[in-house]
Structure 1
Amino acid sequence: MILGIYGTGGLGREVLELAKQINNVQHRWNQIFFIDDFRDEKNFQNCQVTSFQELKQINNHDDIEIIVAVGEPKNRKMLAETLQTEGYKFATLIHPNVHIPASTEIGGGTVICAQAIISCDVVIGKNVYIQPNALVGHNTVIADNTIISGLVHVAGSCHIGHESYIGMNACVKEGLKIGNEVIIGIASVVVREIPDTVIALGNPARPMKTNEDKKVFK
C-alpha cells in the first residue's frame, strides 16, 4: 500500500512520524508521500509532494490510502468530503502503543497518537484526530472531524459533536454533551453542557462568544 498525507504543515509532519513508527512494527506502506495544493517544492521531508489535481491524474488509485493532516476541523471536513467524492480510501493510523478495546469503534481516517488512552465502548467517528496523552472515557462518543488535543481528559459517557476542537489539557466532566463546531480553550474545565457553535473557556468553562466563522485558527 501507499500512504498519502494531505497537508505538509506541522500536523502533516507529525503524521509522517507516526506513520514511520507504525511502519516499523506493521510494515503497512511501501511508500509515503504528501499531498499539498500550495507547496511548490516537490520533495519535503524526503517524501514526494503532489497536488490533489496531479494525484487525480493517476488512473488507478486502488493501492493508495489517504489521511487528512490539517488541524482546522472545518477544513478536515471539506478535504474528507472531496476525497470521498473522488473515491479515495481513507487510512486509519493508531500508534502501536495504544490499546483499543474490542468494544470500541473507530471510523475511517482517524488518527490516534502515542500514549492516548481509549476506554471500552467508545465510538470515535470518521476523520477524528486524537493527540498524544489524551484520555477518552468509557461510552463516550466523538463525532466526525473533531480534534482532541494533547493531555485532554474526556470522562465517561460524554458526547462531543462534529467539527469541534478541544484545546490542550482541557477536562470534560462525565456525562456531558459538547455541541457541534465548538471550541474549548486550553486547560478549560467543562462541568456543564456546551451548545453548538460556541467558544468556551475557563474553570469552570463558560461560553464566551459564538464561533461565527466556525474556525479555530484565525
Structure 2
Amino acid sequence: MKKIAIIGTGGLGREVLAMIKSINEYDKKWEIVGFYDDAVIAGTKVAGYQVVGSVALLNEKKESLNVVIGVGNPVIRKLIRNKISNRNINFPVIIHPSSVIYDKKSVQLEEGVVIAANCVLTTDIKVGRCTYINSASVVSHDSVIGAFCMLMPTTSLSTGVVLGNEVYLGNGTKIDEPIHIEEGMRIKAGSILP
C-alpha cells in the first residue's frame, strides 16, 4: 500500500478521505497517514485521523508521500500546490471506482486530478493539474479544463468547452455549447450557459 495524506480538514478534505476509503474497499491501494492543515493544531483528530502538521512540513519529508489537495477554493488550491517543492511529494490522480472514463487513451489527466463518485468523462478530454471534478459531473468530448479548477457536483460540460485555470463552477452548472470560460471565473450554482 502507498502512503497518502490529505491537505485540508474541512468538508472537502473529509470527502476526499471518504473517497480514499471507498477506493480501498475495491483495491487496498492507500495507507492513510492523516491530514496536513495550516489552520488546525498538529495532533488534533479529524474523522479519526491525526493532523500531522502544516503544509510547510511536507517540504521536509525524506520519504515518498502521496498527497491530495482537499480544499475547494481554486486560488487556495494553487497556492498550496506552489508551496510544495519537495520531490518526495507526489500528487496522484484519484478516481472514484464508480466513475467512468470512456476512452482512457484519449483522456489526459495531469497530476493531482481528483474525479469523485459517479462522474463520466467521454473522449478527447484534457484536465489540468490539481483540478477537482466533483460527484455526478459529466465532461463531454473535446473539452479542456485548466489547472486548479473546481467543478462542484452535477456540473455538465458539453462538447468543446474550454475552462481557463482556477475556474470555479458551482453546483449544477450546465454549459451547453463550446464556449471558453476565462481564467479565475466563478460561475454560481445552477447557472446554464448557452
Amino acid in the other structure paired with 1:96: P
Residue identity matched to 2:39: F
8 Å CA contact retained: 2:24, 2:30? yes
Shift of 1:11: 0.3
1:129 alignment counterpart: 132
Amino acid in structure 1 at the alignment position of 2:49 = C
Segment of structure 1 superposing worse, 41-50 or 3-12: 41-50
* Partner residue in 2 for 1:207: none
Quick one: percent identity of the two aligned structures?
A: 28
Measure how far apart 1:29 and its partner are: 1.4
Write the letter of the residue equivalent to 2:74: P
The gaps in structure 1 that reach 5 residues or longer are 192-218
**How many residue pairs get matched?**
188
Match in the other structure for 1:18: 19
Matches within 5 A, 1:22-41: 22-40=23-41
CA contact (8 A) 1:11 1:69 kept: yes
CA distance in 2 between counterparts of 1:178 and 1:55 reads 33
TM-score using structure 2 length: 0.92
Where does residue 47 of structure 2 map in the other structure? 45
Q: Deviations over 1:175-214 (max 9, x none)?
A: 11111000111111112xxxxxxxxxxxxxxxxxxxxxxx
Supply the AA of the counterpart residue of 2:10: G
In the alignment, what sits opposite 1:3? Answer: 4
Q: CA deviation at 1:97?
A: 1.2
Contiguous gaps of at least 5 residues in structure 2: none
- Spell out, residue by residue over 1:78-110, the C-alpha distance to the aligned partner (whole angstroms, 9 max, x if none): 111112x22221122100011222211111101
The offset of 1:54, in angstroms, is 4.0
Q: Which amino acid aligns with 1:168?
A: N
Deviation at 1:41, TM superposition (A): 5.4
Does the CA contact (< 8 Å) of 1:140 and 1:157 recur in 2?
yes
Query: Equivalent residues in 2 for 1:26-175 (5 A)?
Result: 26-40=27-41, 42=43, 43-51=45-53, 52-58=55-61, 60-62=62-64, 64-83=65-84, 85-87=85-87, 88-100=89-101, 101-102=103-104, 103-175=106-178
Q: TM-score, normalised by structure 1?
A: 0.82
> Matches of 1:112 and 1:157 in 2, distance apart?
19
Letter in 2 for 1:50: V
Max Rg structure: 1
8 Å CA contact 1:37–1:50 kept in 2: the answer is no
Which amino acid in the other structure matches residue 163 of structure 2?
A: I
Quick one: distance in 2 between partners of 1:31 and 1:136? Answer: 29
Note if contact 1:135-1:151 (Cα within 8 Å) is conserved in structure 2: yes
RMSD value, Cα: 1.3
AA aligned to 1:14 is: E
Which residues in structure 2 correspond to 1:137-216 (within 5 Å)? 137-191=140-194
1:44-83 alpha-carbon deviations (Å, 9 max, x no partner): 211121123444444x222x11011101100000111112
Distance 2:75 2:51 in 1: 23
- Aligned 8 A contact 2:42 2:52 in 1: no
